[in-house]
Amino acid sequence: MILVKLGGSVITDKSRLKTFRKASCDRLCTELGQARKALAVVHGAGSFGHIEAKKHALHKGYRSDSQIQAVASVQRDVRELNLKVLGSLLDSGIRAVSVPPASAGSFSGGKLRSFSKAPFEMQLDLGLTPVSFGDVVPDRTMRFSICSGDLMMEALAKAFKPKLVVFCADVDGVFDRDPKRNPRAELITEFDESSLRSMRRTEARHADVTGSIYGKLERMLVISQHCEKCMIVNGNVPGRLRNAIAGKQVVSTLVVPG
């Protein structure tokens, strides 16, 4: 099986509320459609989730009744995005079905406490492509919390041991410095535990409602222990995802365990 995350920064314009990047999403789905392999997809929330979730501090859990309206509307918004992604996938010939995180997992303290692979397995057995996403979820201790798409990627990687895991980002991979600010930033082609340790010192302490880059990379390192190959590719460059799936050499960061 191949497990792919379509990052929210690729399929949406993260700076503009609820702005779907249809052309990018359609192209990525066409590339996925050419894979002809068993597939599970997870997508981020991008500007359909992050902006309002941050505004109402939904990642901190219940603080006051004033957040409840936002719990409902962010849930609605990420489903709106999910429907758009399903549309792109179906148009590309992929028989996609939606599996929201809370239908497979239960959460407390912002963490996934139990996960059932059955809802995904049943779809895969039928030749369908399950599609999950970052979402607002019920949480036993916080009353609600945010489940990131990356958390679902980790759960799915552990449950299905995919051959290949691909994260589609809006950059070529992990750089030694912020490539958006520093033109001399260099791509790290192989990222491991020691790369993470050296990042701790230099990491920009920038975090959104699902955490910092550091936390995301920590999670990818865990994922890399449960698959043959885990990589980050630039989803904005046509062909990168298709070539990565075809096993060709592509500009990327390979995330390797140990």
Contact between 217 and 191 under an 8 Å Cβ cutoff? The reply is yes
Token pair listed for 230: 């885990």
**25-33, 49-57, 233-241, 242-250 -> range binding ligand IPE (CB under 6 A):** 49-57
| Residues in contact with ligand IPE, shown as a per-residue x/- string from 57 to 76 under the rule CB under 6 A | -----------------x--
Query: Interface with ligand IPE includes 49 (CB under 6 A)?
Result: yes
Nearer to ligand IPE, 13 or 197 (CB): 13
Kindly state the helix (H) or strand (E) to which residue 96 belongs, with its residue range. strand 96-98
Query: Interface with ligand IPE includes 209 (CB under 6 A)?
Result: yes
Contact between 47 and 13 under an 8 Å Cβ cutoff? The reply is yes
Query: Interface with ligand IPE includes 28 (CB under 6 A)?
Result: no
**Residue at 13: amino acid letter:** D
Query: Interface with ligand IPE includes 21 (CB under 6 A)?
Result: no
**24-32, 46-54, 99-107, 186-194 -> range binding ligand IPE (CB under 6 A):** 46-54
Nearer to ligand IPE, 31 or 150 (CB): 150
Query: Interface with ligand IPE includes 134 (CB under 6 A)?
Result: yes
End-to-end alpha carbon distance in the chain: 23
Count of residues of this chain found to bind ligand IPE when the rule CB under 6 A is applied:
19
**Residue at 33: amino acid letter:** G
Query: Interface with ligand IPE includes 132 (CB under 6 A)?
Result: no
For 145-167, letters b (16+ CB in 10 Å) and e give bbbbbbbbbbbbbbbbebebbbb
Query: Interface with ligand IPE includes 31 (CB under 6 A)?
Result: no
> In sequence order, what are the residues at sequence separation of 6 or more whose Cβ sits closer than 8 angstroms to the Cβ of residue 250?
233, 240, 243, 244
Q: Which residue among 24, 88, 210, 234 contacts ligand IPE (CB under 6 A)? A: 210
Contact between 25 and 62 under an 8 Å Cβ cutoff? The reply is no
Please give the residue ranges that form the binding site for ligand IPE (CB under 6 A).
Answer: 7-8, 44-46, 49-50, 53, 74, 78, 134-136, 146, 148-150, 209-210
